[in-house]
Chains A and B, each alone.
Chain A
Amino acid sequence: MKKVAITLNINNRDVDMLVEPRKLLSDAIREDARLTGTHVGCEHGVCGACTVLVDGKPQRSCLTFAVQTQGKAITTIEAVKGNNDGYSALQQALHEEHGLQCGFCTPGIIVTFEAYLKENTNPTEDEIRDVLSGNLCRCTGYQNIIRAIQKAAAVMRGETPGAAK
C-alpha cells in the first residue's frame, strides 16, 4: 500500500503530494499543502470544523480521502476574502458582531456560508439555523454567528444593515 502521487487543486493552485490512499483530505490539506486554517474537531463528520468547498459545495474534509478529490476544485478558508484582499462581507460581519470566540469552528462556518449565501441570498433565520446546525460551536451559543450571517447576507444583497444592537 504504497504512497501515490496526486495533484490537488486547492485555492486555484495545484499542489503535488505523495500520500497513502488512506490519508484523509483534512490531513492532506493541513500537512501536505500546509494550509492549517481547516481544523479537525472530531474526524467522524459531526462537528463541521473541517468543512471545505469541493467544486463550490461544502463538504467534510474528514469524510473524504485525499485521493478522491483529484481533478476537483478545493477551496479552504485561506482563499476567502473580500475586495482588495480585505474581509469578505461574512468575515467582516463576524468580526463586528463578535461571532467567534476561540475561533476553532470559525473556518468551517465561514466556508459553509460563503457557499450558502450565494445559493440563498435572503435566508430566513430558521434557514440559517438549519444550515448552521452542521457546525458545532462550544463558545458563542450561536446567537452572534446568526446575527452576523444575517448582516452579511444583507450587505451582499446591497442593503445597509441596521447597526448592531
Chain B
Amino acid sequence: MEHTKGKNDFTALGKRMPRTEDHRLLTGHGRYIDDIDVPGALHACFIRSPYAHASILSINSTEAEDMPGVIGIFTGKDLAEWTTSLRMAPSIEGVKPVEMTTLPIDKVRFHGDLVACIVATDRYIAEDALELVEVDYEPLDPVTNMFKAQDAGSALVDETLDTNLVSHQTFATPDVEKVMAGTDRMIETNFSEHRQTHLPIETRGIIAEWDAGREHLRIHVGTQAAHPYRTAIAGRMKLSESQVTVISPDVGGGFGQKIALYREELTVAALARHLKCAVRWREDRFENLLAASHAREDWVRTRAAVDENGKLKALSLEIVEDFGGYCFYPANYLARVIAMILSGPYKLDHYAFDVKVVLTNKCGNGPMRAPMAITSWIMEGTMDAIARDLNLDPVDVRRINMIREDEFPYQMASGETLEDINPFETMEKGLSIIGYEELRSAQAADRERGIYRGIGICNVVESTTYGSKFYKSAGIPGSGHESAWVKIEPSGAVRGAVGISATGQGYETAFAQAIAEGLGVDPLEVKIEIGNTDIAPYGMGSRGARGGTAGGGTAYLAGLEAQKKVLAIAAKMLALNTADQLCMKEGKVWRCIKDDWTETELTLADIARTAYLDPTKLPDGMEPGLEVHKAYDPPPMTYSNSSHFCQVSVNINTGEVTFDRYLIVENCGTVINPLIVEGQQHGATIMGISGTLFEHVVYDENGQNLTGSLADYLIPTAADVPELEIVHMHTPNKRTPAGIKGMAEGGVMGAIGAVSNAVSDALAPFGITIDKHPITPDALRALLRNKS
C-alpha cells in the first residue's frame, strides 16, 4: 500500500481531537428525523398483530376511516399494487429462497407483525383510529422453539418452504473425522446465547416526500447505509435510482438495526407517492422492542479433540440459530461468519462445522454490533473447558494453542488468512498488568473465607473490514468497497465526502482527519458531508467495523490523490519539472532542497484559485478544477485483536455479579482518533456486558413478547457498569491505507467471553460452568441451588 510518509510521521491521524459534530449535539441543535419540520406532513402508524402466528381473515376499517383527521387505512393488498416483494434468493448452496410482501396479506408471523397502516393528520389521531379498526384473525400454531421447529410435524412459518430450516451449511477439512476418531480426549462444550435487540435510543423513523411534479422521492431516514438503501427502495417502488434521494441526518444510534430497508419505511414511502404528499412515521419504543429487528439467538456445541497437554487437534462446531419470522438478510448471513472465523487466535488444522438457521414466529433477526461476537465466548469457553478437563491452568492452555508472531500470516482451517495481529503479546501484557499469578493466590485465599471471585480471559480476533473477496468466498452477497471524494473549492476550502453514513461514530471528525492527513491540511479545515445520496459517492455504508479501514482508508487515499494533483500544479507554478520534492503541510506547499524542507509561498488557496479561475497556468493536459474521486476495496478481511481481563465477585447468596476490575489490551492498528477509538471500545465492551448480564427478549410459549418496555428489556445504567482500563499495543496493517485496521465490535466479543469465563471461574468450587446467557442473579441462584 502506498505511503508517502513513515507511520510515525502522521500529524492528523492519531490526533486526539474532540469531535466537530459535538457542537450541534451539545446545544440541542442536532437534526434527528423527528426534528425535521416538513409542513403538512401526514403521520403514519401501524396496526400490529397481537398473535405470534395467525391468518388474517378480514380487516374492517370503516369506522376508523370516517374519523376526522384520518386520511386512509392501507393494507397489504394495497401495498402489493404499489411495490414489489422482497425476494431473498442468493445463489448459495444450502440457503432456501424466501420472499416477503411489503405488508402481510394473508397471515402474520410474529407478535407485532404488520397488519395495516393508518395515515392521519396527527399521530394522536392515528392512534385513536387504530383502536377502531377491527381485524379478524384465526390463530395458528406458534413456532417458538428452534429445535421443535425442525420437527416434521411442526407448523410452517413460511408455507412456501417445506421446512422451517431455511439454511443449512456444512464444511469439513479433509482429515477432521480421522483426527477426531484418533484422539483420546474429546471435550464437548455448549453455549446458548439468547435473543437480544439493538435498542438505539432514537428508534426508527422516516419522512417521505413525493414531488409529484418532478416525480422525485425525497426520504429522510436514519440509516447506516444510505446508498444501498436507495437502491433497495427505488427497486421496490419501481423507480429509477435517479428519482430517489436518501438523506440520513443525525442518527441516534444504529448498532446494526438501521441497515435494511424495513417494511414500515417502504410502506410510508409508497403512501407518500400514492397520496402525493409528505408522510412521516416515528416508531415508538413498544414497536421498536417488538418489531424492529432482533439478534443473536444461537445454540452452539463444540467438540474439541485435544492431546494430554491441552493442544487442540481438531474441532467441530454445530450452530442452530433462531432467525425469527422474516429474512431481511440471507439466512446464513450471521451464523456463517461465526463458523468461518471461529478459531480466532488459536492454531487449528482440522475443523468442521454444521450451521443450521431456522425460521420461527418471532421478530426477524439481523446483524447487531458484533454479529459474530459469540465466536470469542465459544473459543475461550472451549479453552477453559479444556483446562478444566485436564486440570491445567487456562492460561497455559491458551499459550500452547495460540498463534505466535512468527507464524503470521496464518491461514485458518476455514481458508481465511490472519495477519498483522499480536494476540500472544496482548495476552501476556495483560497477564502481567493484572498480576495473574498473584490474583490466583488471592483467589484461593478468598475462597477460604467464602468470597467467590473469578478471573475471565478472552482473546479476541475481530474481523473488522470485510472486502469483496471475503463476501464472495463466504457465499454472502455484497461488496466491501467504499468511495470518497475530495473537492477543493476556488477559495481553498476543502470538502470531503464518504459513502458511509454515521450513527454516532464521529465520522465527520475522523474522516476529516484522514483526508487532512492525505492532503496535508489541518483537519479543522476539512468539512465532511455524509449521509446524503445526492452529495456523497455510492458507498456500502456503516457495517461491521469498516468505518476505519474502508471509510477512513478511502478518505485518506482520496486526500493523497488530491495532494498529488495540488503538487503537480504547484510544481508548474514554481517552474519545477517534477513535484517529487514537494509536499503539502498545514495547507502550504513545502519544498525539499538538499534534505531540508522549507515552506514555499504557495498555499492551497493559491493553487485552487489557479485550478478553477486561471486554468491556462495548469500543467499541460490537466483538467481545470480540483476534485478527486477515489474508490477502494479493502483486503478480503482485516483483523484487529485484543485481550480482555475481567475480575468479578459473585455474591453466592443473591447471585449478583459485581466487577472488581476490567482491563483491555488491544491492537487496532493505526488509530485515526484515539478519543473516538476509546469511546467505541467503551461502548462496545459495555454492550457486551449488557448482553451477557441484562438484556433478554423474552417470548412465552405462545410467542407473546413479554419485553415491550424498557422496564422489562433491561440495558444497564451508569450504576451497573464497571470502569474500563484500556492499554494500547498497536501494530499497523501492512496492506491497508495508513495501516488502519478498524475496531468497534471487538469490545462486545471480548466482554461476552471474559464475563462468562470470570463467572464460571468464580463458581468453579461449586462445579458450575456458565453455558447460557443472560447470567442473571435468578439464573445463578438456580445453578447454585441445584448444586447444593
Contacts and interface: CB of A to CB of B under 8 A. Distances in A.
Contacts of B675: 98
B25 A100 contact: yes
Nearest to B676: A98
Given A37-B28, A94-B26, 15 more contacts: A41-B252, A87-B26, A98-B679, A100-B22, A100-B26, A101-B683, A103-B30, A104-B201, A104-B504, A105-B201, A138-B201, A138-B687, A141-B683, A143-B686, A146-B718
Interface string B245-266: 0000011110100000000000
B530 to A, nearest CB: 14
Nearest to A104: B252
A8 interface: no
Contacts of A101: 253, 504-506, 679, 683
Nearest to A146: B718
Nearest to B251: A102
Nearest to A22: B124
Interface of B: 18-19, 21-23, 25-32, 34-35, 37, 124, 199-203, 250-253, 255, 284-285, 503-506, 675-676, 678-679, 682-683, 685-687, 709-711, 715, 717-721, 723-724
Nearest to B198: A138
B26 A102 contact: no
A87 B24 CA distance: 11
A43 B252 CA distance: 16
B185 to A, nearest CB: 40
Contact of A138 (B250, B715, B721): B715
Contact of B253 (A40, A42, A138): A138
Interface string A6-33: 0000000000000010110000001000
Given A43-B284, A141-B686, A91 B201 contact: no
A54 interface: no
A38 B201 contact: no
A163 B43 CA distance: 48
A76 interface: yes
Contacts of A135: 718
A102 B200 contact: yes
A135 B199 CA distance: 14
A51 interface: no
A24 B676 CA distance: 36
B27 A78 contact: yes
A43 B286 CA distance: 9
Contact of A39 (B124, B202, B506): B202
A77 B35 CA distance: 14
A142 B721 CA distance: 8
B252 A47 contact: no
Given A98-B679, A104-B32, A141-B682, A37 B285 contact: no
A77 B28 contact: yes
Q: Which of A39, A43, A87, A102 has the most CB of B within 10 A?
A: A102
Contacts of B199: 138
Interface stretch (A116-124, A126-134, A154-162): A126-134
A49 interface: yes
Nearest to A134: B717
A39 B222 CA distance: 15
Contact of A41 (B22, B202, B685): B202
B285 A43 contact: yes
A45 to B, nearest CB: 9
